[in-house]
Structure 1
């Protein structure tokens, strides 16, 4: 299965029997992100969390109170 990265628009080939390939075929809302882009976003997010300027936004106040 040929997939395109959402961020860098590079094409990748996934084997058809992978669970990720099945998820992408059956649920079009799911998107593919290549491993280098995924690692880059993870690293940048970790750096932002360490600075203390990163806030997690919750969907509702009831959800926050339960934590």
Structure 2
């Protein structure tokens, strides 16, 4: 299966029977990101977390309500 990275537009091939290929076929909203872009984003996120200027926002749950 040929896939295109949403960030760098690099076209790669993945196995048709892989779990990632099945997810992309069955749920069109899911997008593919190549390993280089994924690694770059995770490194930059870790650096922002370590700097202290990063805040995690989570969805409010029923436990948070008064």
Q: TM-score, normalised by structure 2?
A: 0.89
Matched, 1:40 2:40: yes
| Other-structure match for 1:57 | 57
Q: Structure 1: any 5+ residue segments left out of the alignment? A: none
Q: Could you list the runs of 4 or more consecutive aligned residues of structure 1 that deviate by over 3 angstroms after TM superposition?
A: none
**Aligned length in residues:** 64
Q: Deviations over 1:13-53 (max 9, x none)?
A: 01101000000001001000000000000000000000000
**Higher share in helix:** 1
Shift of 1:57: 1.1
| Other-structure match for 2:4 | 4
- Return the alpha-carbon distance in structure 1 between the equivalents of residues 34 and 42 of structure 2: 12
| Other-structure match for 2:27 | 27
Q: TM-score, normalised by structure 1?
A: 0.88
- Return the alpha-carbon distance in structure 2 between the equivalents of residues 7 and 56 of structure 1: 23
Shift of 1:59: 2.0
| RMSD (Å) for aligned C-alpha atoms | 1.3
